[in-house]
Amino acid sequence: MLTLLTSMYIVVRAISRQAEPIRVVVTGAAGQIAYSLLYSIAKGDVFGKEQPIILILLDITPMLPVLDGVVMELQDCALPLLREVIPTDKVEVGFKDIDAAILVGSMPRKEGMERKDLLKANVAIFKTQGAALDKFAKKTVKVLVVGNPANTNCLIASKSAPSIPKENFSCLTRLDHNRACSQVAMRCGVSSNNVKNVIIWGNHSSTQYPDVHHAKVNVGGGEKAAYDAVKDDAWLRGDFISTVQQRGAAVIKARKLSSAMSAAKAICDHMRDIWFGTKEGEFISMGVYAAGNSYGIPEDLIYSFPVQIKNKTWKIVDGLPINDFSRAKMDATATELVEERDTAMDFLSN
């Protein structure tokens, strides 16, 4: 009898836990990345197949009619995990008691716009959103910044939310990571899940450094170092790096639109790994706070490192040997990030 009661209690507890939805906000929710992203979140690809979700769609006021159409489509998907969809243009609604924030919306670079002008516009946006996170979100919220310049936008948001741990903020370099995996996989004639431990160092920009010195490729049932599997050092040190660095521009040139489907997939990969952890013996790339890193990167930056994740907490993978080739490229992208940070901090203080 006691065993039966215990079993019933466990079932009731499990049901009650399952019934508690998490609140997830996506900014720029009327845009094309969000349009590719929202369905995957709502059907359980990111936070789990038994985790109910309340989706909050935040965008600027002129986009509210478009958001209404997105809400209708999400309703029409008839997804069992989706408990509620809330469209809004108000940060106090968008960030209220949220568990996860995916900050996709940012000011895009327009023709003739200087990079410093782009930074200035985005400092204002991410200062506001950071302050709103600080005021309205749960202190345990996990914040992913996607909108470019993602690293510096993430830093500004974090600095504007002093009551939320800096470790709760990260920016998206998983798209670059996935691009690098795919390039190596295609070169070796294997599927991308046979490539692991590539690294994106630094900024989500054309100075990023895709590094495969520590990557492994499963070829013919055996695991090889990427350099041994590819057997083309010149490609790995040349066209491979530039292809990954310039891939976003190549997509825009071909589609006349920026990456959306692949960006949404990378966002899902990033957040799912935060929620459920990385595989044993594997690491992925994320832009995270650089404090305490062992690679000589300035500490007050959001910089992409190899990380492992357990219990929703990331840890930079320390102690990887760095050769002179890698050192120069890691430093170059850090220099760009320092310049971006200093420019952004000037705007923030003013």
Per-residue model confidence as pLDDT tens digits over 327-344: 999 999 999 999 999 999
Q: Is 204 a catalytic residue?
A: yes
- State pTM to two decimals: 0.94
What letter represents residue 198's amino acid? V
Cβ atoms < 10 Å from Cβ of 48: 15
End-to-end CA distance of the chain: 69
Q: What is the reported pLDDT for 13?
A: 47
In this predicted structure, the answer to whether residue 225 has a pLDDT above a threshold of 80 is yes
Say if residue 153 carries a ligand binding annotation.
no
Is 251 part of any known ligand binding site? no
Catalytic residue among 177, 204, 214, 270: 204
* Mean pLDDT along residues 128-153: 97
Determine if residue 109 is labeled as part of a ligand binding site: yes
Is 341 annotated as belonging to a binding site? no
pLDDT in tens, 238-293: 999 999 999 998 998 999 988 999 999 999 999 999 999 999 999 999 999 999 99
Q: Is the per-residue pLDDT at 137 higher than 70?
A: yes
Q: Is 346 annotated for ligand binding? A: no
> Angle, to 10 degrees, between the axis of helix 64-76 and the axis of helix 32-42?
30
3-state secondary structure of 225: strand
Q: Residue type for 293, please?
A: N
Question: Quick check: helix, strand or coil at residue 89?
Answer: coil
The full set of domains in the chain, from first to last, is 22-171 (3.40.50.720), 173-342 (3.90.110.10)
CA distances from 228 to 22, 184, 215, 219, 239 (A): 45, 12, 10, 10, 17
Q: What's the pLDDT score for residue 19?
A: 64
The confidence band for 220, taking pLDDT boundaries of 50, 70 and 90, is confident
Instruction: Round to whole Å and give the CA distance between 84 and 89.
Output: 17
Q: Summarize pLDDT for 6-17 with one digit per residue, the tens.
A: 554 544 344 445
